[in-house]
Structure 1
Amino acid sequence: MPINNSHLYGLDEQHLVDYLGHQLEANTAVAFASLQQAALADEIDLQICSGFRNFDRQMLIWNAKATGKRAVLDNNSKPLNIEKLTSKELIDAILIWSAIPGLSRHHWGTDIDVFDGNMINKQNLQLVSEEYALGGPCFKLSQWLDGNAQKYGFYRPFQLGLSGVSPEAWHLSYFPIAEAYLRDFDINAVSDILKSSTVKLREPILAQIDKLTAEYVYRVAPIPKS
């Protein structure tokens, strides 16, 4: 059956434009350019580490973790021994930091991971909480985003106690578009996509797809009020 809104699941790139080597949703790119210039005026080099990721790219990340080819980290960013985990436990562990293919906000082009290029380069960046906390290279950026991101339509969807995904100080979402995309997300469509995919742990994922979608797609921090 044809898939509606395939751009929501990383299968369509027609809504994207190139912005300095990263693919972003068109409105998101315009807004981010303004946010970036504002940061520069305050001597912060706001750079994108990761923007749009298609379904296949997300599947590579997921499958590498599910098969032990890539480290699976706990809430404290420490490696786990996945050999001792059941399928359900392994899914839960991977989901601490990585989305199931088809369920990632990075498919939308509205969500980006950012860092301060004045303080750390992309090669050394690990995207762990310590880098954005007091004493970390991106602490100044994180504090600046607290006071300025919303002015340009951005916010952090993954916040402590407000989201299924662990807090990610580096993850920004352009909420004027992302909010509409979230409303259009269709669990039946993504289930059909997963059924015909080669995603590892596919069957145990599908067995609890309602719960996983509720926790890791729909449960995010509320859109900030102006």
Structure 2
Amino acid sequence: MVTKEEYLGIDSSNLVKFQNPGESLEFLAEASSLKALKALIDDASLHGFDLCVASAYRSFDRQFAIVDDKFKGKRAVLDENEQLLDISVLSDEKKVLAILRFSAVPGFSRHHFGTDFDIYAKNCLKDGAKLLLTANEYEKGSYFYEFGLYLEKSLEKFGFSRPFSKRDLFGYEPWHISYEKSAMKVIQSFDINAAIAYLESFDEPWVKYAVEYVKEHKDRIFGEIYGK
């Protein structure tokens, strides 16, 4: 049984630390998911890709800060075409809707589970190029195109899926992979009302719109994305 504190990203004591080879930055992940990831990394290497992790477990507080910073204009917000959006001209409600296309509502992020990873092929980046984590990087002719084809063919073999694989309510994220077996254990324990109640305990002005968004789209969130 996964606890509320675990699926909300409040308690990470059940997770293990890991690093990309040759890097000092530490990540956290659920043990079975990490084992599967390492097998995927080894296979990717055989196919010429240096698969690295850009993001793994993300706490509630970290996700909350990301959304809060975007709402306050401290972080960039992209539109559905991944172009920079000027949110200063939008109402608070529309700001939140724009932010939530590519940033999960705190408490509802799959990155809280420890089963999901944002990945990339380090050796496919040009020297000095910055990783953007945009779908444009996976378009034909771009540097991650071949890597994306590899993922499409290989992820299922190692128990992974790409939960954000459509251009729909949520942004298309070909770099986001999830170890389904472990993720489903978390999802089966997930209580949407408990998650909403916890989020409502915060008084930032955008929270009420985020809660409204979850309530309006909960069937799609838990159907298309969480498989519940």
TM-score normalised per structure 1? 0.89
CA pair 73-172 structure 1, distance change in 2 beyond 3 A: same
Q: Do the aligned partners of 1:158 and 1:164 also contact (CA within 8 Å) in 2?
A: no
- Secondary structure of the 2:154 match is helix
Question: 1:140-185, CA deviations, whole angstroms, 9 ceiling, x for partnerless residues?
Answer: 1110011111111001001226x63211110000001112222222
- Secondary structure of the 1:114 match is strand
Please show how residues 98-177 of structure 1 align to structure 2 within 5 Å.
98-120=103-125, 124-160=130-166, 164-177=169-182
Q: Do the aligned partners of 2:117 and 2:178 also contact (CA within 8 Å) in 1?
A: yes
Shift of 1:214: 3.1
Shift of 1:118: 0.7
- Secondary structure of the 2:64 match is helix
Partner of 1:73: 78
CA pair 222-205 structure 1, distance change in 2 beyond 3 A: closer
Partners in 2 of 1:160 and 1:62 — Cα distance?
A: 22
CA pair 71-217 structure 1, distance change in 2 beyond 3 A: farther
Partners in 2 of 1:5 and 1:58 — Cα distance?
A: 16
Question: 1:179-223, CA deviations, whole angstroms, 9 ceiling, x for partnerless residues?
Answer: 222222211111121122355511222344322433345422869
TM-score normalised per structure 2? 0.89
Please show how residues 5-154 of structure 1 align to structure 2 within 5 Å.
5-20=4-19, 21-120=26-125, 124-154=130-160
Partners in 2 of 1:215 and 1:122 — Cα distance?
A: 39
Count of residues paired in the alignment: 220
Shift of 1:64: 0.6
Q: Do the aligned partners of 2:187 and 2:226 also contact (CA within 8 Å) in 1?
A: no
CA pair 212-117 structure 1, distance change in 2 beyond 3 A: same
Structure 2 counterpart of 1:11, which letter? I
Any unmatched runs of 5+ in structure 2? 20-25
- Secondary structure of the 1:48 match is strand
Question: 1:97-131, CA deviations, whole angstroms, 9 ceiling, x for partnerless residues?
Answer: 11111110000011110000111279710001111
Partners in 2 of 1:60 and 1:87 — Cα distance?
A: 17
What fraction of aligned residue pairs are identical, expressed as a percent? 32
CA pair 122-214 structure 1, distance change in 2 beyond 3 A: farther
Partners in 2 of 1:6 and 1:221 — Cα distance?
A: 18
Provide the alpha-carbon RMSD of the alignment: 2.2
Q: Do the aligned partners of 2:3 and 2:189 also contact (CA within 8 Å) in 1?
A: no
